[in-house]
Amino acid sequence: MNYSGQINPCLSCVSTLNYGRKLNRLDNKVDWSRILTWLVILAGVYFGLVALIYLFQNRFIYHPESRIWRTPADVGLEYERVEFSASDGVQLSGWFIPHEEARAVMLYFHGNAGNLADRVEFLSLLHTLNISIFGIDFRGYGESEGTPTPRGTLKDAEAAWEYLVEKRDIPPDRIVIYGRSLGGTIASWLATRHEPKALILGSTFTSAADMAKEMFPFIPVDFLINIPYKTREYLQQIHCPVLISHSTQDDVVPFYHGEELFQVANEPKEFLELRGAHDDVVFTSRETYIQGMGAFLSKYAEQPKHLQNR
């Protein structure tokens, strides 16, 4: 026994050896090869998902339906089925619903799913606001030919505008462009290229990239999404009157998207706050919607009596 107060060097060596043995036993218990295997699998799944999003991003956006299961005639509206062509030759289809006392002509773009047949009740509601309506199906939707693509839908919107102005001889200052959801960003893009009477956006997102970030927050979508749907950017270039409607209960495009769009829009602009889910907001807030839309159209789209029958 050592009474000098110093640690016996031999005991220190034994302690160090015992600690080393414990580490070795711990290393033996950890299966590093299995951990490495799982890390490789997880990395493969992650990058596989990234590749799928990049390669099939259009399929995440567009959900077209070709069957026309009802028409405006089913709700007592006279209408004309219209065929016209986009600049790349794709044949498109739409409905022109006239109004005898139209104060404006509305160019309407629907959302990403279904087709015009699913909007018959909505078009009938719009018609009560004393407007003529030209609604179109984007390529791949309804009776329109082709396959939907971002740039293709923009060509479709341009072709619809040209049809109204050139074929029907409707002055631009009589046209109100209305887009809902996906149709809203396309409507905004079109309004940057022309001078409509007014622009109306319903339940529209700030940009496709922003929506993708919400769907895939762990994916670097800024480097993957090559879709030119940039509503926030478009609105800053538009100087016609703008109405933005959005539901606080929207379960697809969060309410703050509408708020941000309103903030960046130029004057004159108005905001219509609604209630209800994304797909049924107009009918859930029917009275508020009709009053707000009617007031906006009366303020910015009213036409002299002698022009209303065009």
Dig out the tokens for 231 from the structure.
């509503």
Which listed residue (181, 188, 247, 285) is catalytic? 181
**110, 207, 250, 285: which one is catalytic?**
250
Task: State yes or no: is 74 an active-site residue.
Answer: no
| Residue 250 annotated to the active site | yes
Catalytic residue among 127, 246, 257, 278: 278
- Clarify whether 278 is annotated catalytic: yes
Which residues does the annotation mark as catalytic?
181, 250, 278
